[in-house]
Structure 1
Amino acid sequence: MFKNVVELAKQICQLKLRQGDKAADCTMGNGNDTAFLCGLVGEEGKVYAFDIQEEAIINTREKLGQLKLQDRAVLIRDGHETIDSYIKEPIRLFMFNLGYLPKGDHEITTKKDTTLQAVQKCLDLLEPDGLILLVIYPGHERGKEEKEALAAFAATLNQKTFNVAHIRLTNQVNDPPELLCIEKVLPR
């Protein structure tokens, strides 16, 4: 079924996204999630992708070019906490793969304060039946802080408006990644 929560998040994306949807990769990194989302939204869809590092923009642009997906993505060099400055339309799915850039500077990581700001803004931009997926890495200090802050925030969300699931592989060692899912409930 799945070997880790990253794979589970991708399976959820495949179930949730349709051709023509709008999505956002809030932590672009090396472009893997951006490319994956671009494939799911199809030619008529759009993926907004955010990162603060120029290296992430370069790597993602190259990956999308190789896959001929560049027309489906808007690459933004800015922090995800500024998401509402760039996105003005409802979004079906937001994806966060928190932590640091793989093979990059491990001192540059996502931070609980800016991630919380971003998630709060994503809730406002999320279309009904839309989803926010957060892959959290509690194996380093900032990751632990993010996990605690996000879990506490998500627990306060109104259950009539949002469904929240926190998924952990409880038999894994060394603080494996966790998945926090926030779904906007369809209005009745």
Structure 2
Amino acid sequence: MLQNALNQSKIYLKEIIEPGDVVVDATAGNGHDTLYLAKLVTPSGKVVAFDIQQAAVESTKQRLSSAGVEHAEVILAGHERLEEFISQGVRAVVFNLGYLPGADHTVTTESSKTIQAIEAALRLLVVKGRIVLVIYHGHQTGKIERSAVLDFVATLPQEQYQVLHSAFLNQQNSPPELVVIERKN
């Protein structure tokens, strides 16, 4: 059975992340991806997670604490600021674009800040590293962001990056789409 965008994203991350790696959850949300990444890098690695909402930061910290994870840092800041907090190379950066499930749907990721964050992630990404974006575009801001992200990643030079876009074409209600960027050299 074909996997949805969220499950595909986990497959593309698991393929490349190894114990000891530094990885980023650019949109911590409720902490599911942060915990998944922490398990992949093991305590010898590090996860840095970002979110603009205090509730998301607290939820993520609680999820990590309940799982006994101490090798993750959760930062109350927008993902466009990731280079302020990370200077070493990263193996992977994951984004879930849209709004925090169960929270105020008017607080969403924004295309201009997301593009800034992708640009920063590209500068930090190691060779064979990946940026994985799950794009939730079932709302107006999401449609704008989807278009901006797809336009931007389509311009990345093929000599340096491979860019994959995966979408279900015959499903209703705007199912999430996946974009994976892999650094070649």
**Would you call these one fold, judging by a TM-score over 0.5?**
yes
Question: 1:12-34, CA deviations, whole angstroms, 9 ceiling, x for partnerless residues?
Answer: 11111111111000000010100
**What letter is aligned with 2:80?**
E
Q: 2:57 corresponds to which residue?
A: 57
Q: 1:35-74 maps to which residues of 2 (within 5 A)?
A: 35-69=35-69, 71-74=70-73
Q: Equivalences for 1:140-155 in 2 at 5 Å?
A: 140-155=139-154
Please state how far the C-alpha of 1:11 moved relative to its aligned partner: 1.2
Q: Which aligned runs of 4 or more in structure 1 are off by greater than 6 angstroms?
A: none
Output the CA distance in 2 between the equivalents of 1:125 and 1:93: 9
Deviation, 1:170, is 1.4
Q: Secondary structure at the match of 2:91?
A: strand
Q: What is the match of residue 17 of structure 1?
A: 17
Name 1:104's counterpart in structure 2: 103
Shift in Å at residue 88 of structure 1? 0.5
Q: Which runs of 5+ in 2 are unaligned?
A: none
- Aligned match of 2:172: 173
Q: How many residues align?
A: 185
Q: Which amino acid aligns with 1:76?
A: I
* Distance of 2:81 and 2:14 partners within structure 1: 27
Per-residue deviation, residues 82-118 of structure 1 (Å, max 9, x unmatched): 1110000000000001111111111100000100000
With the length of structure 1 as denominator, give the TM-score of the two structures. Answer: 0.96
**Distance (Å, rounded) in 2 between the aligned partners of 1:156 and 1:3:** 27
**Unmatched 5+ residue regions in structure 1?**
none
Q: Distance in 2 between matches of 1:40 and 1:31?
A: 14
Structure 1 residue 174 displacement after superposition: 1.1
CA distance in 2, matches of 1:142, 1:183: 26
Equivalent-residue separation in structure 2 for 1:68 and 1:39 (angstroms): 11
Cα distance in 2 for residues equivalent to 1:166 and 1:48: 25
Question: CA-atom RMSD, angstroms?
Answer: 0.9
Q: Percent identity?
A: 42
1:127 match: 126
Distance in 2 (CA, whole Å) between partners of 1:49 and 1:38 is 10
- SS of structure 1 residue aligned to 2:15: helix
1:120-161 per-residue CA deviation (whole Å, 9 max, x = no partner) reads 111000011100000001111111111100111111110000
Query: Quick one: distance in 2 between partners of 1:9 and 1:16?
Result: 12
CA distance in 2, matches of 1:135, 1:142: 15
Opposite residue 41 of structure 2, the aligned amino acid is V
